[in-house]
Every structure is written in C-alpha cells, then in structure tokens.
Amino acid sequence: MHHLPAESQQSPLSNRAHRSRRDFLQASAGILSGLTLSSCGWTLAEVRPLQANAKATNELHIFTWSSYIDDELLDGFRAQTGVKVIADTFDSNETMLASFQAGKGSAYSIIYPSDYTVAKMIELKLLQQLDHSRIQGLENILPKFQTSPYDPGNRYHVPISWGTTGLIYNSAKLNPPPTDWNYLWTQQQTLSHRMTLINDTREVMGATLRSLGYSYNSTKPQEIKQAYEKLKLLKPAIASFTTDAWRDQLIAGDLLIAMGYSADAMAVTRENPTLKYVIPNSGTSLWSDTMVIPKTAPNPDVAYAWINYVLQPSVAAQMTERLNFAPPNQSAHDQLPAPLRDNEILFPPESLLTKCEGIAPVKESIAELYEKYWTQLTSS
C-alpha cells in the first residue's frame, strides 16, 4: 500500500466494492444535540439549524480507503444528520501519513489508518484521545479488538474492519494452485509479468520473511536483508506493486495471481467465481483498519456522530454485505445472512488464524531499514 502521494479521489464514489483496503473546518459546539435509540438503531435526535457563519458545520471531511465508502453510506448519514460527507481516499497508510504530515490533512475530522499506523500517529502526537462516553456501541466490538498492543484500551481508535492478506489467483489457469508464499518463486517463470504484489512495505517484506520461516514482524537486520535479497530475485517477474489496479486485470485474465486483502478477494471472487483466495500455509498478516480523530479535526462533534453511525449493527451489517469486509462488531456479524457469516474468506477458521500475526510497530531504526530496502526494491 505504498505510493508517492497520489491525487485523492473525491466522492461521490461508485458503489463498486473494495477498490483498496487494508481521508479538518471548525465545528460549533453542540450541533448534534444527542443520540437516541430507535427501532432501527441509533439516530440523531436533533440537528440544530446551522448559523449563517458556520458553513463548515454541515460538512464532514474524511480520509479513508475507498473500500469503506459508497454513496449509500454517505447518503444514509446525511439522511440521519443533515451532514454532507466529503470523502477523499488513499491507497496506502504511507501515502495517508505523508499527506497528513505535509499539511494536507487539516481538512479531515475522521481518518481510517490501519492498526500499526495508529501507533505511529500516536507517537507523532497527531491524534485526539477519544471520549468513550460519547461513543455508542463499543460493547459490540469483539473481545480481541477491545484493546490492542499498539493502543492499549483503544484510547485513540475504534476498529472498523479486520481481515487477512493472501493470494487471489485464477483457478482455471494455475495448476497446481498456490498454497504458500513460496509458490511465487517456484512458479516464477509461469507467473512472469502476470503477478502483482501489494504496494506496502511491511506486507510484502512480511510475507517474504514468513516464506523464509521468520516472523512477519522480524526486527533482525540479517533476516530483513534476506527477505530483500529473495524479493530481488522475484522482482523481474512482478508486473507491478499495486493495492488497486490488479482487480480488473485479474478478472479479465491478464494477471494470473495477485497478493491482496481478504476483503478485495471477497469482491472479485463474487464477480468471477474462477478466482480463488488462499491464506498461505506458513502464515500471513491479520490486520485491522480503524477510525481516528486527528488533533487538528475541525469538526469533532460530527466525527463522533460518524463513528456512532457506522457502529450501528444494522449499518455495519449492510456495509459488510455491500463492501465485503469483516466487521469486528459482534452484533453486526449476527445480522449477516448465513452465506456471509459462513464465508471463510471473510471469517477464516481458527486453525488458519492461529498462524497469522498482526503487523506490529518496530523501532525507528528497524522501520528505516525496511523502508531502505523497499525503496531499493521498488525503484530498481
């Protein structure tokens, strides 16, 4: 998920699911007078008329993965609150963070970083500590997402989704099918220029480390160097490093295999049943994406309203059905139709999940080492 910052895509967005996984204005206090429980979930009890000089208060700017946004979601929020959402999208945590640090983030009141990026944003003192008393539905978050090593007690983030990273492949053209990361190397000649890897340092380096028998989160310079050397061998066969552009190419048959996220896999396998998803036997990453409120958020009141809106079980379940990601929300999971609840792309068996690791923060010197090798790999 790494690019130089690209031009953001601005809503309105198409309803096509999951184009990538795993986007600040002064609010006057008290626009939203409160939340009440209704038969269809949480609804804003009242939206007070906006003052003439408070034009920004009826807009919420968010910075997110396009996979978590569609017109139905934005229209639903506006129907409940009267607030228009303007969504810009990013294709990698690094793009988002670079844009934010360059001062381009001052428009946003909600941002959707992945788990390990939350740790970095906390370290950089970019985030507001959340007032949990203002958030409805936290009790529905699955126990394993109630706290995290990178943000104990979820003081700064609310999880919005989770999933795995794996390989999406054309089952009609690949025999034998892939079962592990090493397939990319053993079948390199067959796959040459017909495979893509995610545009994300830690994911690609992590998968390669795992193929070598090491942790996805290795902090040993020699192991990290070995992963880089192994990736150098694969580089001539890689069509591109992309988090976005592989989907249409894979569906069309131009690609044979792509490294991707489970939510993406869910979307493309629905569109083309010959495409399959596999979690590599040696293990992979178990990721989560989150919602945070930056310190510079111009509209924190409406930011809390957005968090409450998407935590409604009915809204979260509908998002899962349309946008193909697994919610960390037990009540939403319970409302899903059985075919989705039983889908092993979204909800893998525990036997596979035990082999997965969350991407963990690493100290600065190791992070710089990862980035040095990644730059050498992708720019050569």
Rounded-to-integer distance, Cα 285 and Cα 291, Å = 20
CATH number of this structure's domain 9-162+289-348, picked from the four choices 3.40.50.300, 3.40.50.1950, 3.40.190.10, 2.30.30.140: 3.40.190.10
The structure's pTM equals 0.78
Q: What is the DSSP string of 183-196?
A: HHHHTHHHHTTSEE
Q: Which of 187, 117, 128 is nearest to 150 (CA)?
A: 117
Low-confidence spans in the chain with pLDDT less than 70: 1-57
pLDDT in tens, 144-195: 898 888 899 999 999 999 999 999 999 999 999 999 999 999 999 999 999 9
For the chain, give every residue range classified as CATH 3.40.190.10. Answer: 9-162+289-348, 164-286+352-379
Q: How many beta carbons lie within 10 A of that of residue 136, not counting itself?
A: 19
* Per-residue pLDDT at 144: 85
Q: Is 319 left (phi over 0), alpha (psi -120 to 50) or beta?
A: alpha
Phi, psi of 284 (to 5 degrees): -155, -165
Rounded-to-integer distance, Cα 304 and Cα 289, Å = 17
* Per-residue pLDDT at 56: 58
Q: Which of 9, 14, 67 is nearest to 267 (CA)?
A: 67
* Per-residue pLDDT at 15: 32
Cβ–Cβ < 8 Å for 242, 200: no
pLDDT in tens, 65-111: 888 899 999 999 999 999 999 999 988 888 899 988 888 888 899 99
Q: What is the CATH number of domain 164-286+352-379?
A: 3.40.190.10
**Token match 């160097």: residue?**
225
* Per-residue pLDDT at 63: 95
